[in-house]
Chains A and B, each alone.
Chain A
Amino acid sequence: AQSVAQPEDQVNVAEGNPLTVKCTYSVSGNPYLFWYVQYPNRGLQFLLKYITGDNLVKGSYGFEAEFNKSQTSFHLKKPSALVSDSALYFCAVRDINNNDMRFGAGTRLTVKP
């Protein structure tokens, strides 16, 4: 069965600095990988996905993620953080042959002015 680990409960960065939110996955087949963001009392908002092809995926709001098959990682990155990026970030994985999408426990990102 597929699973996702987000090793950091919380990430703190200063505004303008680069940010990284880590994610590692486990899946038996080829993975579909996703990043979602959740603001307080809201649903999840899609940021980006990796299906196949280029290992560097660009998404919404300046976010990008790098798929690393050998390290089974899919870390979320942004070159310059904004205070408005402060939110809860979820990594998710789905096996190509499975509709059950598994989410990590989430990482709370705080960007300080």
Chain B
Amino acid sequence: DAGVTQSPTHLIKTRGQQVTLRCSPKSGHDTVSWYQQALGQGPQFIFQYYEEEERQRGNFPDRFSGHQFPNYSSELNVNALLLGDSALYLCASSSSTDTQYFGPGTRLTVL
């Protein structure tokens, strides 16, 4: 049984560009949450998707947006990239509000 998968593993972008990160949830899970983990810090909640709708959002600007597809996979989009967006982006899946299981993350570097 595959766990949570994320792509790509690493990504390098320049300031002002846009990026899309992808996540496939663990089999049987219908909820996807996205987190940003800056170097030396704990993960910070960006938003959560359930039934293709954004169910809750953390304290992140509108440059961060997402989508959930009918097969429960999800995308995180970040527009107008800033140097401060450099981080490990983690996707977590769960069955509704149950325990969240994390993917390996996407390391985004903004130059």
Q: Hey, which chain A residues are within 8 Å of B55, CB to CB?
A: 99
A45 touches B102 (CB 8 A): yes
Q: Hey, which chain A residues are within 8 Å of B90, CB to CB?
A: 43-44
- Given A42-B105, A46-B99, A99-B33, verify A105-B45 contact (CB < 8 Å): no
B33 touches A101 (CB 8 A): yes
A90 touches B99 (CB 8 A): no
Q: How far is the CA of A101 from the CA of B100 in the complex (A)?
A: 9
A34 at the B interface (CB under 8 A): yes
Across the interface, name the chain B residue whose C-beta is closest to A104. B42
- What total of chain A residues lie within 8 Å of the partner, measured CB to CB? 21
Q: How far is the CA of A36 from the CA of B43 in the complex (A)?
A: 11
Q: How far is the CA of A108 from the CA of B92 in the complex (A)?
A: 22
Q: Hey, which chain A residues are within 8 Å of B16, CB to CB?
A: none
A43 touches B56 (CB 8 A): no
B105 touches A101 (CB 8 A): no
Those of A14-41 within 8 Å (CB) of chain B = 34, 36, 41
A105 touches B41 (CB 8 A): yes
- A98 → B minimal CB distance (Å): 7
A36 touches B45 (CB 8 A): no
- B68 → A minimal CB distance (Å): 14
Q: Which of B42, B104, B105 contacts A105 (CB 8 A)?
A: B42
Across the interface, name the chain A residue whose C-beta is closest to B94. A99
Q: Hey, which chain B residues are within 8 Å of A102, CB to CB?
A: 45
- A57 → B minimal CB distance (Å): 12
A36 touches B56 (CB 8 A): no
Where the two chains meet, the residues of A that have a C-beta atom closer than 8 Å to any C-beta of B are 4, 34, 36, 41-46, 49, 90, 92, 98-106
